[in-house]
Structure 1
Amino acid sequence: MFANTSTLEIIQLLLLIGGGCFLLIYSKIIPFRYVGHAINILRGKYDKHNSPGDLSHYEALSSAIAATVGMGNISGVAIAIATGGPGAIFWMWVSAFVGMATKFFTCTLSIMYRGKDEEGNVKGGPMYVITEGLGKKWKPLAVFFALAGLIGTLPAFQANQLTQTLVDVFQVNESNTRTAKLLLGISIAIITSLVIFGGIKRIGKVAGKLVPIMVVIYLITVASILLIKAGDIPQIFSLIFTDAFSGNAVMGGALGALIITGVKRAAFSNEAGIGTAPMMHGTAKTNEPIREGLVAMLGPAIDTLLVCTLTALAILASGIWKNFDGNGISLTLSSFDAVLPYGLGSVILTICVLIFAFSTLFTYSFYGYSCLSFLTSSKIGKYYNYVYIATIIIASITELKFVISIIDSGYALMAIPTVISTLILAPKVKRAAKDYFQRLKTE
């Protein structure tokens, strides 16, 4: 069942799906029972500007979504279909559904156990959850997360696929491709620098403006494709469900590998259980951990259950995925062009990709900075941005397969300390949730 899959991939599957299922059951599906309340929190109903932290609930979620709703939703979905077939989308859904519970727990803990840097600034994330919640003796596990985070949060995939998009759209001659990608990589690095060197508050404000724009444009575009192909949608859903348990479309019946493909791509898409989002949500202005957990759980629903699903339907509706030579952004571009007339698919998708990719590039830098700051100090952590910018240039001319391998490995390693610490501290979240919802009834 799990032929040709590594031990690390199997561990990641057990942690993200197994751990997520446990948290979902253990919480008695609390996250799903209070979606309306979560939306009210997001609207700012409970915001208090004198609370500790740097970002509002909305800015924290926008920044986290800006990191997750990115190339993973456009290119990552295409890779899932190309390597795992339509059935991989079903396992992305499963991962996202249980991931909502995981996000609720991990991001609640990121507020419950916040740390401070040497300058007194509030910091959040699994490394602080481990040291503050489990104690100093667990610090090696926190260090393990931070080291893995330095790899997993590199902007390699976003830079690689953004340059590939521009090369494909402008039909750069093959002999000039490498030079064009290098020049594009340098340009992208310069634009990214203008935002990330402004710190978390600037990142939060930019993300807060970009996220609504990019989601609306993308949804309108995909909705147009689905309207044109409306008659094929029932058959597409049928294909996703039947292929989910056979894997025959691409992987010759390798069901275990198919499941892992879906879980890996979902993890890259919504990051539930990986530990990146808690670093952003941990900076939210609030004294109520449960509130931030409820806001955070909306992330996988928006990211994977909505945006990734629409991307998948658009690709599958085009029909070209069956015989397409290649994957990633090239498949998505070709799928959009195959349905929308006059080359509109490429034009609109390019605009979306630019917004998606840059929003992710802006926010990911904060994750790596947080990891390095934990390992050293905030003063040294700021130097991570220089490494980050250099990575954008290098990744723009690197092979996609190598980039995916590096980032997937980093994510799998990050999940180990994140999920382990969350499972151990889950009773603390459950008690806090019981207290919060009792108080909510009396307000």
Structure 2
Amino acid sequence: MDTIKQLETAMGQIVGFLWGPPLVVLLVGGGLFFLLYSRLLPYRYLPQSVRLLWRKPDRDDPGQLSHFQALSTALSGTLGMGNVSGVAIAIAVGGPGAIFWMWVSALVGIATKFYTCTLAVMFRGQDSEGQWQGGPMYVVREGLGKKWLPLAYFFAVAGLLGTMPIFQINQLVQVLRDTLAIPAGLASADAHFTFDLMLGLVLALLVMAVALGKLPRLGKVTGMLVPTMVVGYLLLTAVVLASHASEIPAAFAMIFEDAFSGNAVAGGVVGAVIITGIRRAAFSNEAGIGTEAMAHGAAQTREPVREGMVAMLGPVIDTLIVCTCTALVILISGVWQSGESDGVTLTANAFGNLFPHGGAVILAVLVSLLSLSTVFTFWYYGSKCLGFLIGAKYQHHYIWWYLVLVVLGAVASLKLVVSLIDSMYALMAIPTMTSALLLAPKVNQAAKRYLKPSQASR
């Protein structure tokens, strides 16, 4: 136990260093630059982004996924525990004000996703097997040239570690244990290692069944799961919030007040609130992190800007809608002030308090879909990173290591898991944002050409 505590402390210090002011400036400042540099293009063309979702790709277009499947795959990587457990962690650590800074990060993240995902298609590259791939490592290699190649490998290594499934699995096992297993007598609060391990093995088999079907099956699975889980989760939160509608204005007031006072954080440090919000937003919508670019880079299209416009919808759906619903439920319930629960259990307790007739159980089912869809997608991201590092013909071996990680995630320490993933996300953001900032003029040129009246309707 002492060793785990020491690891948790050490990783916490690393996270604190990596998520300092420089990275916050890079993510938020970079997103603000994209927004102004594009003359607010992402906001002006959001309606057209929705219409593009239903556009069928041409048969001879390169890529493997339709616009809808690419967005679903990207959302399945973001619409997961970041929306349920991540929001709870943000409030527990940074107070209600952290949600405000999550909104700020999402608003500028809309522009960031437009640039990074446009570049992911614009600078697709061939892997060692001759297949076209997208992602920050290919953007760096194809867009910036050989002298920047170390930055591409830097991203691939960080991406390989950052897309491990351990956080998603850890929180999935926790919510199933706390809401189903313990009440049924299958585990106890003090002795649950065996239950966690067995459930981890079952989940590993489920992941293997989807992963062995590779990307086409992944696109079909996420295309079904993502709309279902979003609608289901929003319906559950709508019922809860409608029954407590009179308390919603006070919850929003709490968010805005604490965002600039930091009263809910030890020491009242506003900077801690800001960094917590931005860190959790990055984990939630992944704007500027680079994972979203790998999914959208597989879209079946010849027009990079078109896919960039579709990608803009991600932070809107993910953070501004879903995360806000979660935050309101937690704040209205008041459970965040108890300090007794963290992660997904905090959210489950909030739903249980406000919707006592099966609310926590319904949440557990929906969280299972949220978590599993992310786990399926992270396998794809990790295998692409491994293929870039050692060759595409070997990347299929990643599935066996990934299954081991699923089992490890089921029994790991939450604090250690969060710190490890946060560290890798910080490192992934450096090459993603650097390459996007350097290549931003290329995106503007392509957008100007595509958005001519004769082209924009295509």
Q: Same fold (TM over 0.5)?
A: yes
Tell me the residue number matched to 2:8.
Answer: none
Per the TM alignment, residue 348 of structure 1 is displaced from its structure 2 partner at its CA by 0.7
TM-score (norm 2): 0.94
Count of residue pairs the alignment pairs up: 438
Does 2:381 match 1:367? yes
Q: Structure 1 pair 143/349, CA: closer, same or farther in 2 (3 Å)?
A: same
Q: How does 1:234-253 map to 2 (within 5 A)?
A: 234-253=249-268
TM-score (norm 1): 0.97
Give the letter for the 2:68 counterpart: Y
Partners of 1:246 and 1:379 lie apart in 2 by 53
Tell me the residue number matched to 1:418.
Answer: 432
**Contact 1:274–1:414 (CA under 8 A) maintained in structure 2:** yes
Tell me the residue number matched to 1:377.
Answer: 391
Tell me the residue number matched to 2:211.
Answer: 196
Tell me the residue number matched to 2:5.
Answer: none
Show CA shifts across 1:80-122 (max 9, x none): 0001100000000000000010000000000000011222211
Q: Structure 1 pair 63/442, CA: closer, same or farther in 2 (3 Å)?
A: closer
Does 2:155 match 1:127? no
Partners of 2:252 and 2:59 lie apart in 1 by 45
Tell me the residue number matched to 1:318.
Answer: 333
**Contact 1:275–1:415 (CA under 8 A) maintained in structure 2:** yes
Does 2:351 match 1:341? no
Per the TM alignment, residue 39 of structure 1 is displaced from its structure 2 partner at its CA by 1.1
**Contact 1:77–1:265 (CA under 8 A) maintained in structure 2:** yes
Show CA shifts across 1:236-284 (max 9, x none): 1011001001111133311111111001100000000000010110010
Give the letter for the 1:15 counterpart: L
**Contact 2:128–2:393 (CA under 8 A) maintained in structure 1:** no
Partners of 1:440 and 1:207 lie apart in 2 by 30
Tell me the residue number matched to 1:68.
Answer: 78
Show CA shifts across 1:200-255 (max 9, x none): 11101100011111001100000011011111111110110010011111333111
Per the TM alignment, residue 12 of structure 1 is displaced from its structure 2 partner at its CA by 2.3
Per the TM alignment, residue 309 of structure 1 is displaced from its structure 2 partner at its CA by 0.3
Counterpart of 1:383 in 2: which secondary structure? helix
Identity of aligned residues (%): 53
**Contact 1:64–1:280 (CA under 8 A) maintained in structure 2:** yes
The counterpart of 2:26, out of the listed 4, 11, 15, is: 15
Show CA shifts across 1:31-87 (max 9, x none): 11111211111012x521220000000000000001100011000000000011000
The counterpart of 1:115, out of the listed 116, 122, 125, is: 125
Task: Give the gaps of 5 or more residues in structure 2.
Answer: 1-12
Across the aligned residues of Structure 1 and Structure 2, the Cα RMSD in angstroms comes to 1.2
Tell me the residue number matched to 1:356.
Answer: 370
Tell me the residue number matched to 1:32.
Answer: 43
Partners of 1:320 and 1:160 lie apart in 2 by 21
Per the TM alignment, residue 176 of structure 1 is displaced from its structure 2 partner at its CA by 3.1
Give the letter for the 1:173 counterpart: S
Tell me the residue number matched to 1:55.
Answer: 65
The counterpart of 2:100, out of the listed 90, 96, 107, is: 90
Counterpart of 1:253 in 2: which secondary structure? coil
Show CA shifts across 1:293-325 (max 9, x none): 000010010000000000000111111211131
Partners of 2:411 and 2:457 lie apart in 1 by 58
Partners of 1:28 and 1:419 lie apart in 2 by 19
**Contact 1:251–1:258 (CA under 8 A) maintained in structure 2:** no
Q: Structure 1 pair 441/209, CA: closer, same or farther in 2 (3 Å)?
A: closer
Partners of 2:252 and 2:456 lie apart in 1 by 40
Partners of 1:372 and 1:227 lie apart in 2 by 46
Moved more, 318-327 or 62-71: 318-327
Partners of 1:71 and 1:442 lie apart in 2 by 36
Q: Structure 1 pair 24/177, CA: closer, same or farther in 2 (3 Å)?
A: same
Q: How does 1:400-415 map to 2 (within 5 A)?
A: 400-415=414-429
Tell me the residue number matched to 1:229.
Answer: 244
Give the letter for the 2:287 counterpart: A
Counterpart of 2:100 in 1: which secondary structure? helix
The counterpart of 2:157, out of the listed 131, 147, 154, is: 147
Q: Structure 1 pair 150/214, CA: closer, same or farther in 2 (3 Å)?
A: same
Partners of 2:294 and 2:166 lie apart in 1 by 20
Tell me the residue number matched to 2:288.
Answer: 273
Partners of 2:177 and 2:290 lie apart in 1 by 33
**Which runs of at least 4 in structure 1 moved beyond 2 Å after TM superposition?**
4-7, 439-443
Counterpart of 1:158 in 2: which secondary structure? helix
Does 2:313 match 1:302? no
